[in-house]
């Protein structure tokens, strides 16, 4: 077994043993599942009220949910991925990047025939499996809940859309896993290792979209694409910051996949941007030197 596979396998075991990582994964799965349950409760409440109003002869309009796609109930998942999912990814990545330096096992690892690239990309791959399992469990549970709400299994097309949503969520989360690993490997202090990628995430999620769109902050927490640029300087700012605001790109792809009628912009371009960021993150993690891996922490 080569260094890459050994590191990937070891990362799975170490993450399973880490209490913080396990709790975050459980919270993430629970929240994604909760988003479907909240959708179910909302539908039931609105439908019950609608039925009462209709019985009282106060409306003849159709039930507002009657034309909605079953995937409507998974729309809030996008927000949980952007919020708790990205934080989970950063914590997992930081723990992995810091582990050898914090435990002082770097020298034991680096006197073995393993390159820094194999070691780090192996850890990256191991966390890729952790994130994949978390997404698979949460979206499979969402599928079951949506099927229960709509009274029948989702169609093949809808199921594929959920799988695609899982795939694009994985791409976004792995970009933040990479940011966490880099924070863990390059920071001089444990606290900075976690803080630096969280600052990057905050800027990408909350600052960049506002710079380009003048969106109200509350809009950033909703599963809708950003408010369109309003011309003038905003167009220019949007052109520059748009590709960097990867959480907005993710929400755009998510809106298309989950059949949100308000989806706008190019989903293909957004997917390209997300994939480019992930590949770039792989490359940056891959060029980390052996010296960085054994640099002592100042804490």
Q: Which residues form the interface with another protein (CB under 8 A)?
A: 1, 3, 6-7, 9-10, 13-14, 17-18, 99, 103-105, 107-115, 294
**Cβ distance to another protein smaller for residue 114 or 211:** 114
| Closest distance to another protein from the beta carbon of 204 (Å) | 32
What distance in Å separates the CA atoms of residue 228 and residue 36, rounded to the nearest whole number? 28
Among residues 287, 1, 6, the alpha carbon closest in space to that of 119 is found at 6
**Cβ distance to another protein smaller for residue 7 or 241:** 7
**Cβ distance to another protein smaller for residue 18 or 42:** 18
| Closest distance to another protein from the beta carbon of 17 (Å) | 4
**Cβ distance to another protein smaller for residue 92 or 229:** 92
First-last CA distance in the chain:
35
| Closest distance to another protein from the beta carbon of 25 (Å) | 16
| Closest distance to another protein from the beta carbon of 110 (Å) | 6
| Closest distance to another protein from the beta carbon of 131 (Å) | 20
**Cβ distance to another protein smaller for residue 121 or 179:** 121
């Amino acid at each position: 077994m080569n260094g890459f596979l050994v590191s990937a396998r070891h990362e799975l075991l170490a993450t399973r043993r880490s209490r913080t990582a396990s709790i975050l994964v459980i919270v993430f799965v629970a929240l994604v599942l909760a988003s479907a349950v909240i959708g179910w409760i909302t539908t039931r409440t609105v439908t019950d009220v609608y039925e009462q109003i209709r019985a009282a002869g106060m409306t003849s309009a159709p039930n507002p949910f009657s034309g909605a796609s079953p995937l409507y109930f998974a729309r809030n998942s996008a927000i949980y991925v952007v919020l708790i999912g990205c934080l989970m990814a950063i914590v997992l990545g930081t723990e992995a990047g810091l582990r050898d330096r914090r435990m002082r096992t770097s020298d034991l690892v680096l006197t073995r025939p393993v390159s820094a690239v194999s070691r780090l990309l192996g850890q990256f791959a191991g966390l890729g499996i952790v994130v994949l399992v978390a997404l698979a469990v949460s979206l499979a549970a969402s599928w079951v809940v949506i099927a229960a709400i709509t009274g029948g299994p989702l169609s093949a097309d809808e199921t594929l859309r959920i799988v695609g949503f899982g795939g694009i969520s994985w791409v976004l989360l792995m970009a933040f896993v990479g940011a966490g690993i880099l924070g863990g490997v390059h920071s001089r202090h444990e606290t900075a290792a976690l803080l630096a990628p969280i600052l990057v995430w905050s800027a990408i999620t909350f600052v960049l979209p506002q710079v380009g769109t003048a969106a109200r902050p509350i809009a950033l927490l909703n599963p809708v694409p950003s408010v369109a640029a309003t011309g003038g300087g905003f167009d220019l700012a949007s052109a520059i910051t748009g590709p960097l605001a990867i959480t907005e790109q993710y929400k755009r792809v998510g809106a298309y996949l989950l059949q949100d009628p308000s989806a706008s912009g190019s989903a293909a371009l957004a997917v390209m941007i997300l994939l480019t960021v992930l590949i770039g993150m792989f490359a940056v993690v891959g060029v980390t030197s052996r010296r960085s891996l054994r640099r002592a922490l100042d804490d």
